Amino acid sequence: MSSDRPPAQIVSPTSSISSRPARAALWLLLLASGVAAPADLDAVTLRELAENPGLNPKKFASHFGDFAYEFNGPIQPPNTFLARERGDCDDYAVLADHVLKKRGYVTRLIHIRLAGRVAHAVCYVNENKAYLDYNNRSVFFTLTRSGAELREIAAKVAASLEANWTTASEFSYSYATRRKTMIATVSLTGGEPVPGTPRSSAFDVD
């Protein structure tokens, strides 16, 4: 008797094995270290971002549209942030600064304190005259145009959050030492930028 059913597909025992064993290993490592499992084993890695020859700020931002917000105290290591697909503005800004600098872009990390609100961090890209903001990761205009002065950036960020800013600082961050170094700070009512102190400190947004 004939049948309209299509012939059964023969599944190779190796077909279900991930084509990216390194990511599977990363997943196991994260589980062993007590970190929540990544949402997607095909999540982009730091190496892939760094080695992407066509990467620019907009393409960088395109990888984060589905990331969730999760407030963290310390900044997550880059591959942990990428694998978990969740984090906050500091994770995103620091990673953007780290990756885009290696692609030849002139970037600056900006930390804005807001009245009565949690502080916010963005990554300013000189070539684009705009900054990357984790709050805009899932909108079409992932880059926000702004002048390069600290006060201009702070005012634009504060307006987007319907808040008032009090101080804005430029800083650097090292994944190796997990420390930030303040470069310069301005206040809403102050004069010229005040150079940062030579000391570095553990990054903490408050």
- Going from N- to C-terminal start, the domains of the chain cover 21-202
Instruction: Report which DSSP code applies to 143.
Output: E
**How far, in Å, CA of 51 to CA of 137, rounded?**
21
Q: Where are the alpha helices (DSSP H) in 75-187?
A: 78-84, 89-102, 150-160
Q: Are 89 and 133 in contact (CB under 8 A)?
A: yes
> Which residues, in sequence order, are bridge partners of residue 171?
109, 182
- The pLDDT, as a whole number, for residue 41 is 55
Architecture of domain 21-202: Roll (3.10)
What single letter denotes the amino acid at residue 150?
L
pLDDT on residue 138: 85
CB 143 within 8 A of CB 132: yes
Predicted pLDDT at 191: 60
Q: What is the DSSP letter of 126?
A: G
pLDDT at 68: 96
DSSP 31-84: HHTTPPPPS-TT---HHHHHH-TT--HHHHHHTTTTPEE---SSPPPHHHHHHH
| C-beta separation of 58 from 143 below 8 A | yes
Among 128, 89, 108, 122, smallest CA distance to 172 is for 108
Longest dimension (CA), the chain: 90
* pLDDT digit string (tens) for the chain, length 206 residues: 444 544 444 444 443 334 455 555 554 555 455 444 444 556 899 999 999 999 999 999 999 999 999 998 899 999 999 999 999 999 999 999 999 999 999 999 999 999 999 999 999 999 999 999 999 998 877 899 999 999 999 999 999 999 999 999 999 999 999 999 999 999 998 666 556 544 444 444 43
Contact between 76 and 87 under an 8 Å Cβ cutoff? The reply is yes
Q: Residue 26 in 3-state DSSP?
A: helix
Residues 119 and 44: beta-carbon distance below 8 Å: no
